[in-house]
Structures are given as structure tokens and as C-alpha cells.
Amino acid sequence: MSHQLISHSPDLKRLRDEGYEIEVKGGYLIANHIPYVNSSREIKYGKLISELTLKNNKETAPPSTHVINFCGEHPCNKDGSIITQIQHATATQTLAEGVTINYSFSNKPPSGYPNYYEKIRRYADMISAPAKSLDKNVTEKTFKVVPDEDVESVFQYMDTSSSRANINGLNSKFHGLKIAIVGLGGTGAYILDLLAKTPVSEIHLYDGDEFLQHNAFRSPGAASNEQLGLKQKKSDYYTNIYSNMHKKIIPHHVYLDGKNLWELDKMNYVFICVDKNSVRSDLTKYLLSAKIPFIDVGLGVNVVDDFLIGTLRVTTGTPSKNDHLPVRISGEDNLNNEYATNIQIADLNCLNAVLAVIKWKKMVGFYQDLEQEHHSTYSINVSQLLNEDITT
């Protein structure tokens, strides 16, 4: 992917054609073998590391910032004094696997950098000038082509959003995970929308229903008349959409029951997004016996005095914390719930999904979790979020 990007982007291709050792790794543009002088007046070689902003999968956009990162000692003048004109920040940090920085530098032209050729060339010239004055044979233009070591990505295009925020290292916590979403009604579909933007290994979708017109009003995106007319299974409909971004979305147009629950055995986490409490009860019991952590979501909405009131629920079960489940998850189906007929509650589906995915990201270790709650509820009419069943 990175060599294709370099070949199709005029600024990156020019850098490579002029001999710079450039590569794209973890959503960053890296220029290797940049000569510099350290405080002991020795000639060393470092790396310039820039965020990478793309128009699409094959072409860069103008850099989003003039600041650049550096891996190595702080570059100095030929007398060993620090080059103060570019000083910005000192912080050793791993941005992504194999991408570590020690400093960031700042040098902004009046109109900024129009492309990555100008940005890399400018910083390389400033940093390498003292080294070249000590040894005329020193150069950053080696014409060495860096092998493409990028591992196969689960995304159809490069995740430059994470690299711009310098959180690619944290994203490694998602690698290798297999996730199942059981039920693709409104909440389950929004959970998929959020999970598809994470580098998990696989996302399995379980739902035997067709995607019909009423589903479109409580789901992410906007289905066309043509799509509705196809009467696709929900799992196929959503797979077709989100496979535009994530390569490993796997549809299963079946209902899960006592005959096929074993299909969940290979999952690392399961999201339960079903309407029937009896089905929910069977799923939670099986997952507990299989020692698979899960997050169960619930949405209860009723009409009172010409208003909708209700509560959103996110309940987590793990092998180490599950004593709360009998009082939090009912095994009986509730018929007094307007959810099944009132379809204009996409905002509640979305919020329920967001709360569930945030909890899952805490379990993975992406977000800090100081509460360790395993049950939370949001009451609509009083705007109250409660955390309960805390791990002690």
C-alpha cells in the first residue's frame, strides 16, 4: 500500500526520485538517514517523521501541520550547540509499532508547507547542513528504496486519523480481536458503525432478519429505495456497506439459538443486541459457561402523558464479574415496551451503542477505567447516567 501511495503522489514520488529514503508506516511519512551533528560534534543519522494527510488512498493532501517529529539526538550546529531555531518539544514517544520519536521541531514558512516534498526537504536541509559542512560526502539522498514492511491492514485505506492524533500505538490493543454483534437492529447497527473504525481482526454479524423500510429509520446512514427493494438480510446489507472500510466483516444470516451458540466460541468479545429477553438469557448463560466476556444492551421506551420516557442500559459480564447478572438481565419478555413499534428513536439507539462501545474500549485497555462498572443506565427524562456493580 505505501509504495503505491508514494508512486501516485507527486510530492512523495519526487522525494523518492531525488534519493530520499522515505517510507510510510503506521500512517506516518518517514524520511530515514537524515545526517546531523550531535552535541559531541559527531555525525549521526536520524529520522524525520511527519503526520500524513491524504485526499484518498493514492494521493496526499497538504500537510495539516508544519510541525515535524525526529528520532535521534537533538541536532546541533557544527560547534555542538543545539539548533535553537527549530526547537519545539522534547518527548520520547512510540507513535506506532516501529515508529518512535524523541523530539518535535517547528519551522513554519509564511504560507505553510504546500506539500510533503517541501516539508521534508526544508527540515532535512536545516538539520543536515552542519553535518555536510564537516564532511562534504555526507548526504541524505542515498537513493535507497526502503522495503515495504507494512503488515496487511484490515482497512481498505490507510488510517491517517489515528496517526494525526498520535494514537496508533494504542490501536495495537485491538489487533487480533474477533468481535461478534448478535442482533442488527438500531443499536447493533450503530455498534457496527463504531467497531468498523477500529483495527479489530474480525467483526462477525449475526441476524436472520431482512433489512426493511422501518429499519432504515433507526440505523446509521441512509438506505436508498433500490437497496430497500432488494430485501437483503441485515447481515448482508451492513456487510456490503462497511466492507467499504473494513475488510474483515463476516455476515451470518442466522438467528443464534441452542443449536448454534457454539459459533461464538472463537470470539474475544460479544455484543448482545436482541429484543427478546429469553434469547438474551440463553446467550448470556452460554457465554458465561464459555468464559467469553460480553456487553448486553437494552432500551426500554414507553409513552407517558404524550411523551416518550425510558432508560438505556449497558450491562457487562466477564468470567471474573457476573454475580450481578441475575438482577440486571431479565429472562422474561416484556410486552409493555413501545420500542418494537416506535421507530423514530435512532438517537437513543446511537447513544446506547456509544455507551456500549466506550465500555468495551475500556475493557480492551484503550480508555482508562477508574470505575470498573459492570452495569450503567441512562434515564432520558432526567438526563441521569448511573454506574453500578463496581468491581472492588
pLDDT per residue over 183-213, tens digit each? 998 899 999 999 999 999 999 999 999 998 9
| Residue at grid coordinates 466483516 | 249
pLDDT per residue over 318-361, tens digit each? 999 999 999 998 777 665 554 445 435 899 999 999 999 999 99
Q: Which amino acid is it at 274?
A: V
For residue 342, give the C-alpha cell. Answer: 416506535
Residue 163 and residue 183 share a domain: no
Domain stop point among 168, 197, 227: 168
- Of the listed ranges 104-118, 146-160, 250-264, the least confidently predicted one is 146-160
Query: How confident is residue 303, by pLDDT bands cut at 50, 70 and 90?
Result: confident
Total structural domains within the chain: 2
Residue 111 and residue 196 share a domain: no
Three-point CA angle 373, 375, 377, nearest 5°:
115
pLDDT at 327: 92
Domain stop point among 134, 168, 202: 168
Q: Which amino acid is it at 364?
A: V
pLDDT at 246: 95
What's the CA gap between 227 and 212, in Å, rounded? 9
Count CB-CB contacts under 10 A for residue 22: 23
pLDDT at 334: 60
For residues 139-150, average pLDDT:
81
Residue 203 and residue 158 share a domain: no
Residue 264 and residue 143 share a domain: no
* pLDDT surpassing 50 at residue 58: yes
pLDDT per residue over 17-47, tens digit each? 999 999 998 889 999 999 999 999 999 999 9
What's the CA gap between 204 and 350, in Å, rounded? 19
What's the CA gap between 273 and 298, in Å, rounded? 7
| φ, ψ (nearest 5 deg) of residue 285 | -65, -40
What distances in angstroms separate CA 185 from CA 190, 275, 319, 345, one per listed residue? 9, 9, 27, 12
Q: Residue 97's domain spans which residues?
A: 2-168
What's the CA gap between 382 and 369, in Å, rounded? 25
* pLDDT surpassing 60 at residue 366: yes
For residues 94-98, average pLDDT:
85
For residues 106-134, average pLDDT:
96
Q: Can you name the residues that pair with 8 across neighbouring β-strands? A: none
Residue 184 and residue 139 share a domain: no
For residue 60, give the C-alpha cell. Answer: 496526499
Query: How confident is residue 255, by pLDDT bands cut at 50, 70 and 90?
Result: very high
For residues 251-276, average pLDDT:
93
Q: Supply the DSSP symbol for 367.
A: S
* pLDDT surpassing 70 at residue 148: no
Residue 203 and residue 94 share a domain: no
Contact 251, 235 (CB under 8 A): yes
